Amino acid sequence: MSISLDGIILKGIGGFYYVETPAGIYACKARGLFRKTRITPLPGDRVRVAVTHEGDREAYIEEIYARKSLLVRPPCANVDRMFIVASAGTPEAVPLLIDKMTAVCEKKGIDPVILVSKSDLADPEPLVAAYQKCGFTAFAVSAQTGEGLGRLKDLIKEHLCAFAGQSGVGKSSILNFLLPDVAAQVGELSQRLDRGKHTTRHVELFSYAGGLIADTPGYGDLSIERFEPVYKEELEGCFREFAPYVGRCRFAGCSHDKEPGCAVKEAVAAEEIPASRYESYLAMLYEVKDLKEWERSE
């Protein structure tokens, strides 16, 4: 008779899934079950495992519980908080990139938190204020001075978190600050295995401060917004600060573009909605508005 345990997949490597359970970590195989349902177990999946060899800490995955969210690239299930990092200094923040990432998060039910990094180099306030005005949690951080990292730590607790943002904004520096031991381990392991580009693209979850952080090596400059489309009819709902105005435009189905009597545009003119957010909305609308059904990837 085998015992069953609930746990969470930390990583999958070489056909094994490493599942953290209240009784420790087990190396698990996924049995044929998943080939039939065509669901591939992913880091972040909450699963039930049946222990086969207690001594060897081996088990197999019996069931994958329903996912609360799913990121395709990087592949990770159940991320519920995304730290979107944008620099106050260099590289200069690109509002459109930030807004594409917040939109993807909104679509997927992931809480986006905006971290304005390198606050020791330049004034983070304008960006912080713009995103706070929209209703996001946004604050300054610095891997140099430690500013904001205590607050960041508090936000990780009880969440499965990931970091996104342009290359060079300081994601690794923040992670290294939070997880110095892990950073050292990962460095060692990479050297030992001489892992090439392909094999480093394994998402791995690390326990930290009562939560989990998804480390996404190899995805440093592959931001989520490039892989997770937000379609036309979803778009207005992915800009949370539009909510008070949506449905108040003169025309039903207003796309908040060239239509007269648009409540969203009026709110932009009145500076209730930051102009840069509205510009991002329009840019995203133009990217997807003529997409045909068959051009959609999901």
Residues lying near ligand GDP in the complex (CB under 6 A) are found at 117-118, 120-121, 142-144, 165, 167-173, 220
State both tokens at 145.
């001075």
Could you say which of ligand GDP, Zn ion, none residue 118 binds, taking C-beta under 5 to 8 angstroms by partner kind? Answer: ligand GDP
**Any contact of residue 186 with Zn ion (CB under 5 A)?**
no
Residue 198 CB, nearest approach to ligand GDP (Å):
20
Residue 143 CB, nearest approach to ligand GDP (Å):
4
Residue 229 CB, nearest approach to ligand GDP (Å):
24
**3-state secondary structure string across the chain:** CCCEEEEEEEEEECCEEEEEECCEEEEEEECCHHHHHCCCCCCCCEEEEEEEECCCCEEEEEEECCCCCEECCCCEECCCEEEEEEECCCCCCCHHHHHHHHHHHHHHCCEEEEEEECCCCCCCHHHHHHHHHCCCEEEECCCCCCCCHHHHHHHHCCCEEEEECCCCCCHHHHHHHHCHHHHHHHHHHHHHHCCCCCCCCCCEEEEECCEEEEECCCCCCCCHHHCCCCCHHHHHHHCHHHCCCCCCCCCCCCCCCCCCCCHHHHHHHCCCCCHHHHHHHHHHHHHHCCCCHHHCCC
Site for Zn ion in 258-277 (CB under 5 A): 262, 264
Residue 244 CB, nearest approach to Zn ion (Å):
12
> Nearer Cβ to ligand GDP, position 21 or 223?
223
> Nearer Cβ to ligand GDP, position 143 or 249?
143
Residue 245 CB, nearest approach to Zn ion (Å):
7
Is residue 166 within 8 A of residue 221, CB to CB? The reply is yes
User: Which among 96, 74, 150 is positioned nearest to 281, based on CA atoms?
Assistant: 96
Report the residue from 249, 267, 268, 284 that binds Zn ion according to the rule CB under 5 A. Answer: 249
Could you say which of Zn ion, ligand GDP, none residue 254 binds, taking C-beta under 5 to 8 angstroms by partner kind? Answer: Zn ion
> Nearer Cβ to ligand GDP, position 19 or 115?
115
CA dihedral 188, 178, 210, 25 (to 10 degrees): 0
> Nearer Cβ to ligand GDP, position 143 or 186?
143
Could you say which of ligand GDP, Zn ion, none residue 237 binds, taking C-beta under 5 to 8 angstroms by partner kind? Answer: none
Binding mask 81-100 for Zn ion (x = CB under 5 A): --------------------
> Nearer Cβ to Zn ion, position 82 or 264?
264
> Nearer Cβ to ligand GDP, position 12 or 170?
170
Residue 255 CB, nearest approach to Zn ion (Å):
7
Residue 115 CB, nearest approach to ligand GDP (Å):
10
User: Which among 69, 72, 32 is positioned nearest to 297, based on CA atoms?
Assistant: 72
Binding region for Zn ion (CB under 5 A): 249, 254, 256, 262, 264
